[in-house]
Amino acid sequence: MIYPRTGSIRRVRAKDLLPNTLCFCLPARHYSHLGRAKFKAPTPKNSKQPPRHSQHRRKPDPFVTKVKEVEDPDEALSLFYEYRRMGFRHDYPSYSALIYKLARSRSFEAVEEILSRIEETDVRCRESLFIALIRHYGKVHLVDKAVRLFQRMTSFNCTRTLQSFNTILNVLVENDRLLDAVELLHRSYKMGFRPNSVSFNVIMKGWLEKGEWETACKVFDEMLEKKVQPTVVTYNSLVGFLCRKGDVERAMGLLEDMTHKGKYPNASTYALLMEGLCLLGKYEEAKKLMFDMEYKGCKPAPVNFGVLMSDLGKRGETDKAKELLKEMKRRKCKPDVVSYNILVNYLCKEGRPAEAYKLLVEMQIEGREPNAATYRMMLDGFCKVEDFQGGLKVLNAMLTSKHCPMADTYCRLVEGLLRNGNIDDACFVVEGMEKRKIRVELESWEVLASYACRADGGAMELLTELSLEEF
């Protein structure tokens, strides 16, 4: 493997630079004012002047304000046409707010409809809107739509930059279209793009995910030929691959090499090495590496503690993992949501959801908002030990936080509540499913119907109504 060749760098002090020299060291936007600058007398301290932006403050867009309050995408689309009929002229903020709303709910036919409206009205759009849309298409594997949108961007008065180019490259790689991404990279110069480290990192990631180490190294060499400097992310991809293959010794050598080349490892680099050691059963060495990394100029982060906590959880030593959480706080390293989720996951797997719930409360007290994964693991944990009232408590907190369980979890909870005779609570959960349009497999319906038939209080009637909408 060929590593980057970098020359020595001499530190230059600002005072050693002449004014003209400084201009060549900065982008044009930083020195364009030097030739026309005029002397301006300082403003007296006691003088009162209006805020700079107060005179030209943009009025809030009524449609944007309204559409953000709407949850149903169909209602948002109807609102768009309603405002249009009233004579309201939609501009870029209106279109972007609506498209974001529709894309998040995966209403892509409606998105295409609004994009056509934008083309008709010749509204100038920002690149950030299309980058977000390309990513949304990628998440649902609509890769061809993402590619076409990238090609169409110029028809929306929008200039494509390297950022949107790298976005479509990443969508292709993540959807197993690596060869298409490689071809696009090779055509980048003809398209007016000069690939950067991000472009090459995306392609390297694709080859490494396929286990093609030699091909990834050739991409690395190509970076050097094109005078593109590898970044820490570049090295982390290579280190991570070697560690997953159990070649930690070679990965350590790569760590030393990158340091010699002036690329200093970050917390993620050390986390990958620690993970490799844990996979080899060398937990103590991984722990030592975490405590040693600070002496090398890199402070441990939650990701490093998370590696150790995950390894302890896998080995059934969850109590030690909890102690590690306390160690984090003692070392002034604030646990993030992932740190708590690791513990919640293993506590629930061990049949200890009540302890996991205490962690949920602890998270909120410390200002860490639980995410969808936190609630889902905990709800599954309560259902696993058949504590369905505890599960209902988690569900209420989850819905309040605007998160939603998976369909099978909903069914397990309803089934458990019906089996225990909690008809009212079961009906409440089923109504929640209906409101959120949760689709349920046929087998699950059969189970729910069998329990509802034995119960009274309207459970069967509600299930029948819901099944008619479902099928």
> Which amino acid is present at 250?
R
Contacts 24+ apart (CB under 8 A), 429-438: 429/392, 429/395, 430/459, 430/462, 430/463, 430/466, 431/462, 432/395, 432/399, 433/407, 433/466, 434/465, 434/466, 434/469, 436/404, 438/404, 438/407, 438/410
Contacts for 206 with CB less than 8 Å, ≥ 6 apart: 173, 178, 181
Encoded tokens for 115: 């994009």
Q: Where are the chain's structural domains?
A: 336-404, 406-471
Q: How many angstroms separate the CA atoms of 94 and 89, rounded?
A: 9
- Which pLDDT band holds residue 446 (cuts at 50, 70, 90)? low
Contact between 453 and 446 under an 8 Å Cβ cutoff? The reply is: no
Q: Considering the entire predicted model, what is its pTM?
A: 0.77
Is residue 304 within 8 Å of residue 293, measured between CB atoms?
A: yes
Identify the residue with better confidence: 15 or 64. Answer: 64
Nearest to 332 by CA among 304, 292, 301: 301
Choice among 22-26, 225-229, 256-260, 291-295 with the minimum mean pLDDT: 22-26
pLDDT reading at 356 higher than 50? yes
Q: What is the DSSP string of 5-42?
A: ---------GGGS-HHHHHHHS-HHHHTTTTT----PP
pLDDT tens for 313-335 read: 999 999 999 999 999 999 999 99
Quote the CA–CA distance of 211 and 206 in Å, as a whole number: 9
Start-to-end CA distance of the chain, whole Å, equals: 58
> Which pLDDT value is given to residue 18?
36
Average pLDDT, the chain: 84
